[in-house]
Amino acid sequence: MRGANPQFAWLTTRMCDRGRGSFRGVGGDRLETERLVLRRWTEKDLEPFAAMNADPAVMEFLAAPLTRAQSDAFVDRIERTFDERGFGLWALERKDTGDFVGFTGLFPVWADIPPKGEIEVGWRLARPAWRHGFASEAARAACGFGFGPAGLDAIMSMTAAINVRSRAVMERIGMTYDESSDFEHTSLPLGHPLRPHVIYRLEA
């Protein structure tokens, strides 16, 4: 890993402190921010996660809402990634209420698209958790872990070009738009408004 990005140095220090998080090897089963817990998934998360994934507003900039079976299978894949990589998409829990509010974390791009194999920071939050700054707060923690204990050199994030809310989060956490990496998401038909995608990048 190259020299740590100074923007995330304080996060790396905080998360390596045993009082703020616990890790298995270079993996992070649990991270904490001021208002959130980022943790591994449990059985009780499945129902609210499925409800979130069935919400058309939450899934507005994704291909389609998920069925319960698809949502549960996604959690299985997330948990396998934790076991294989030592990091993944953490379930998000509010400290003040204990409520599950979505996910944020680091995940390898598996789809057959140009950034395949790169590590993406991503998030998806239930509607009641919008407009509180939770996505930015959790994404900073995830990137801090990525550039710290996980030893990553670079992290990217992608979204549909018209998704201004996610693009704003990427900019708030210090990512830079890489115009040269714009691509067409081939899982969507030609002419689909979500087909044009953009990529933002951050380096250690």
Per-residue pLDDT tens for 16-65? 332 223 222 335 899 999 999 999 999 999 999 999 999 999 999 998 99
Please check the confidence at residue 8 and state whether its pLDDT lies above 90: no
- Residue 157: half-sphere exposure toward Cβ, Cα within 13 Å: 29
- Mean residue pLDDT across the chain: 88
Query: Under a CB-based contact definition with an 8 Å cutoff, are residues 40 and 21 in contact?
Result: no
Q: What is the pLDDT of residue 201?
A: 98
Query: Angle at CA 35, nearest 5°, toward 60 and 129?
Result: 20
Q: What is the mean pLDDT of residues 9-15?
A: 38
Q: What is the mean pLDDT of residues 177-189?
A: 95
Pick from 8-12, 116-120, 177-181, 190-194: least confident: 8-12
Predicted confidence (pLDDT) per residue in 101-125, tens digit: 999 999 999 878 889 999 999 999 9
Q: What is the pLDDT of residue 19?
A: 28
Q: pTM (2 decimals)?
A: 0.86
Express as a percent the part of the chain with pLDDT over 90: 81
Q: What is the mean pLDDT of residues 71-91?
A: 96
Q: What is the CATH number of domain 6-158?
A: 3.40.630.30
**Pairwise pLDDT comparison (8 vs 88), residue with the higher score:** 88
- Dihedral angle, C-alpha 188, 181, 146, 144, nearest 10 °: -110
Q: Is 43 helix (H, G, I), strand (E, B) or coil?
A: helix
Q: Is 129 helix (H, G, I), strand (E, B) or coil?
A: helix
